Amino acid sequence: MKLVERIQKSEVFINEKMKNNNVVVRILEDKDEDKGEILIFKDKKIERIFQIERIAYRQIEIKEDNKVLEYSLHIENLGKWLYNLYNPIEVLYVFYGGEQRGRTLTKNQVEKIAIGRTDSMVISRKNNMDLEKKVTDKQPIVKGYLGPMFERIDYGKIYLRYETQEIHDMLSA
């Protein structure tokens, strides 16, 4: 099945979620079956146009004005990604291994145990040298943990993952 056809199946659900923002999403096909466009209408006027391109069977790259906004987004998360453009986002921090294992902390909670912050990768992303997710920029660093790493996206939430080296090694094996 073509990329856009698969994504269009969720268009009604996406629009239902976006209704409170007075936003309508239209997903259009391109001549190339691995490409398409997303038109965002706000107050019945085109507000934004995104280009999408398949990079794997279930993953897309999203561009606006030839600038990569999102790389390797799973198509089932497109609605969440669009929703988060128009709504406040809470970042939550999930810990695997170590003292904090099994805990999900809020920004205020993780700030209390932080020993620093990650660097901003804006320039690297601009040069397409490093496609780390923007949300990992300037996030708390926690002693004894690798991360933050992008874990998952939800409506109004982004989860960042911290894991010990031991857990990382087990998952990487």
Asked if residues 110 and 94 have their Cβ atoms less than 8 Å apart, the reply is no
pLDDT over 60 (residue 130): no
For the segment 39-98, what is each residue's pLDDT rounded down to a tens digit? 999 999 999 999 999 999 899 999 999 998 888 899 999 999 999 999 999 999 999 999
Residues 129 and 66 in one domain: no
Nearest CA to 39 among 72, 68, 6, 4?
A: 4
pLDDT at residue 165, as a whole number: 96
Residues 69 and 136 in one domain: no
3 state DSSP class of 136: helix
Q: Which residue has the tokens 């601009």?
A: 126
Residues 114 and 166 in one domain: yes
* CA 143/CA 67 separation, integer angstroms: 34
Residues 73 and 112 in one domain: no
Residues 50 and 118 in one domain: no
Provide the CA 113 distance to its chain's centre, in angstroms.
25
Give the confidence band of 129 by pLDDT, cuts at 50, 70, 90: very low
This prediction has a pTM of 0.85
Q: What are phi and psi of 4, to 5 degrees?
A: -65, -40
Residues 116 and 166 in one domain: yes
Domain boundary among 27, 52, 85: 85
Residues 157 and 129 in one domain: yes
Residues 99 and 66 in one domain: no
Domain count, the chain: 2
Which is more confidently placed, 125 or 46?
46
Question: Residue 52: which domain range?
Answer: 3-85
Domain boundary among 67, 85, 103: 85
Residues 9 and 58 in one domain: yes
Residues 68 and 120 in one domain: no
Provide the CA 123 distance to its chain's centre, in angstroms.
19
pLDDT at residue 3, as a whole number: 83
Residues 114 and 65 in one domain: no
Q: What is the average pLDDT value for the chain, to the nearest integer?
A: 91
The pLDDT of 131-147, averaged and rounded, is: 84
Domain boundary among 58, 85, 112: 85
